[in-house]
Amino acid sequence: MQDRLQALKEEALLKIEQASDLKALQDVKVSYLGKKGPITEVLKGMGKLSPEERPVVGAYANEVRDAITSALESKVAELEQAVIEEKLKKESIDVTLPGRPVRQGNAHPLTAVIEEIEDLFLTMGFTVAEGPEVETDYYNFEALNLPKDHPARDMQDSFFITEDILLRTQTSPVQARTMEKHHGRGPVKIISPGKVYRRDDDDATHSHQFMQIEGLVVEENVRLSDLKGVLETFAKKMFGEDRKIRLRPSFFPFTEPSVEMDISCFKCGGKGCSICKHTGWIEILGAGMVHPNVLEMAGFDSKKYTGFAFGMGPERIAMLKYGIDDIRHFYTNDLRFLKQFKKA
């Protein structure tokens, strides 16, 4: 019986050594160590042995089992390692190859213009103030000298959420809120950039959502000449040092007097071209001296304090600065358009 076990051991070890894959090893395991394998069959005949022979044969049978099991485990590890090495050869990476360049993004042209404007006014001592885009009727209109029955409200078709809540039509509410926080004490010197909303039909020059930057200065003895100086500095820094400005009378409910500011055309130098519509001037923004009613409603003594305010559309400035002919380009996320401003 021991001879038979020895023969089975040698036979199994040879087949294990010759196995070329994991399936062949599994077949060897089942054939020799399974319940119906030859080793089990040999052990079934132990009942015919004498009591003295049984423990000897049993011990030897366990040795055979252990030897075959150990050989199987070693061969499995060897074949698995070979599989890994073969896979590594096929999927190897040449680390000496140069990496693929990662494209670096760039600021959206509208963001670039807004940040340029902010940086300019920060150097003039202004601070940046922000406020809610969902606004109350009071701050959006009434606090800016636009009572409920004022005809100038018709100039701003609005997205009302309730009778008293709407999407702000301008960033002017930030001015009213900021003045309130000062409790009637100056100075106030802010710009307020942000999104605003109006019920416009979208076309090349109009959008239901657009950006706006407004500025406000409230202090003692502020004059219209101070406003002109600030706007002239802005025009020269944004469009060139040789730019000239002119102020035309206008009307805004929250300023008195009110003006529109034009700059001399940066394309033709004032001679007349398609950009300035052959006038030599380009309209840029609206401005004026803060209306006494606005100051009083915000808690300021209009006999002691005066101020000026201005408002501009960054889209218009970006369109002029970069020669963009359609405001919708800013919002369609067309990479063909955006890639043109990599250095903007």
Which residue has tokens 């499995």?
76
- The gap between the terminal CA atoms of the chain, to the nearest Å, is 92
Q: Tokens for 286, please give them.
A: 């609206």
116 appears as a binding residue in the annotation:
no
State how far the Cα of 117 lies from the Cα of 123, in Å rounded to an integer: 10
State how far the Cα of 157 lies from the Cα of 160, in Å rounded to an integer: 9
Dmax over CA atoms of the chain, in Å, equals 127
Phi, psi of 211 (to 5 degrees): -95, 155
Q: Can you name the residues that pair with 193 across neighbouring β-strands?
A: 213
DSSP for 130-155, written as a single string: ---SEEEHHHHTGGGT--TT-GGGGG
3-state helix, strand, coil in the chain (%, to 5): 45, 20, 35
Q: Map residue 304 onto helix, strand or coil.
A: coil
Cα 339 from chain centroid (whole Å):
17
Phi, psi of 255 (to 5 degrees): -130, 150
Residues with Cβ within 8 Å of 99's Cβ and at least 6 positions away in sequence, in order, are: none
CA trace torsion 338, 340, 341, 344 (10° rounding): -170
Q: Using alpha carbons, list the distances in angstroms from residue 109 to 102, 119, 214, 319.
A: 21, 15, 19, 9
Chain length of the chain: 344
Q: Can you name the residues that pair with 255 across neighbouring β-strands?
A: 252, 290
Which residue has tokens 């101020």?
307
Residue among 297, 298, 294, 321 nearest 308 (CA):
294
Binding residue ranges for Mg(2+): 256
Binding residue ranges: 256
